């Protein structure tokens, strides 16, 4: 589910209990703190908003309503409130908050690199790498959707949909995959497979420089 749909679902639920600046303030709390997290972490979002009486007494109810909307899809959702959210911050003279942008141009590159890194692993090795990467990525609070894409690609499947994710998270996930790979087969072979993935991506993917994925951050 893309971020626009999730934002509409959150807005649909919150706009029934909040209005005015309280509503826009809470929407920005979600946007900057929870929009890239799993829907199962939304309970923490409502807990973080318990300073508002309209939410404090009905956190469980609001959580159930939101999960229900996310399951049903777009049919009952109100329009995307992003323009109103941005107008609120502009009116208060607040700096622009980072809104996650489509990184779809990086996904083919990400897939090629991961495919080459995982090539040649035994079934047992691949399972261990996947498990290690997924667990560490979750602890590092990387986007659940991005972790799912990694698992698909590492298993030899293709991901063709657009994805909302931070580029820094994509780099971090490549780094986690490299570390897990080194633990399974050592750095020499892992370096070779990573370099092969970067080289193939340079040849096949236009408009991005896959070498930027090597500028890692720690997770």
Contacts for 74 with CB less than 8 Å, ≥ 6 apart: 5, 8
- Tokens at 33, concatenated: 């703190």
Percent of the chain with pLDDT over 70: 86
**151-206 pLDDT per residue, tens:** 888 988 877 666 666 777 888 899 999 999 999 999 999 999 999 999 999 898 87
Least confident of 28-32, 36-40, 108-112, 173-177: 36-40
36 pLDDT higher than 60: yes
pLDDT class for 33, splitting at 50, 70, 90? confident
Q: What is the mean pLDDT of the chain?
A: 83
Identify the pLDDT of residue 143: 77
pLDDT class for 23, splitting at 50, 70, 90? very high
**102-139 pLDDT per residue, tens:** 445 678 889 999 999 999 899 999 999 999 999 998 88
C-alpha–C-alpha distance, residues 4 and 62, integer Å: 19
Identify the pLDDT of residue 100: 43
C-alpha–C-alpha distance, residues 11 and 32, integer Å: 14
- Tell me if 42 sits within 8 A of 66, measured CB to CB: yes
User: Can you give the C-alpha Rg of the chain in angstroms?
Assistant: 20
- Tell me if 178 sits within 8 A of 129, measured CB to CB: no
Report DSSP state, residue 58: T
- Tell me if 62 sits within 8 A of 17, measured CB to CB: yes
How many Cα atoms are found within 13 Å in the side-chain-facing hemisphere of 112?
Answer: 22
C-alpha–C-alpha distance, residues 166 and 170, integer Å: 7
Phi/psi region, residue 209 (left: phi>0; alpha: psi -120 to 50; beta: rest), is beta
Identify the pLDDT of residue 96: 55
Beta bridge partners of 164: 102
For the entire predicted model, the pTM comes to: 0.53
Identify the pLDDT of residue 55: 92
Beta bridge partners of 102: 164
**61-107 pLDDT per residue, tens:** 999 999 888 887 667 899 999 899 989 888 887 665 444 444 456 78
C-alpha–C-alpha distance, residues 154 and 149, integer Å: 8
């Amino acid at each position: 589910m893309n971020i626009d749909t999730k934002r509409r679902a959150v807005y649909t639920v919150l706009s029934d209990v909040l209005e005015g600046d309280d509503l826009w303030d809470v929407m920005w709390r979600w946007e900057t703190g929870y929009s890239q997290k799993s829907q199962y972490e939304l309970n923490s979002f409502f807990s973080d908003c318990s300073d508002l009486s309209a939410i404090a007494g009905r956190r469980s109810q609001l959580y159930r309503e939101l999960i229900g909307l996310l399951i049903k899809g777009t049919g009952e959702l109100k329009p995307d409130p992003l323009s109103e959210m941005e107008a609120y911050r502009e009116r208060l003279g607040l700096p622009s908050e980072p809104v996650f942008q489509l990184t779809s141009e990086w996904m083919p590159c990400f897939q090629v690199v991961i495919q080459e890194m995982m090539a040649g692993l035994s079934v047992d090795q691949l399972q261990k790498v996947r498990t290690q990467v997924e667990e560490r990525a979750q602890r590092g609070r990387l986007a659940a959707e991005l972790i799912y894409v990694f698992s698909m690609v590492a298993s030899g499947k293709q991901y063709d949909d657009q994805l909302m994710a931070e580029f820094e998270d994509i780099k971090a996930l490549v780094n986690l995959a490299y570390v897990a790979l080194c633990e399974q087969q050592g750095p020499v072979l892992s370096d070779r497979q990573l370099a092969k993935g970067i080289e193939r991506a340079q040849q096949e993917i236009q408009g991005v420089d896959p070498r930027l994925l090597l500028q890692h951050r720690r997770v």
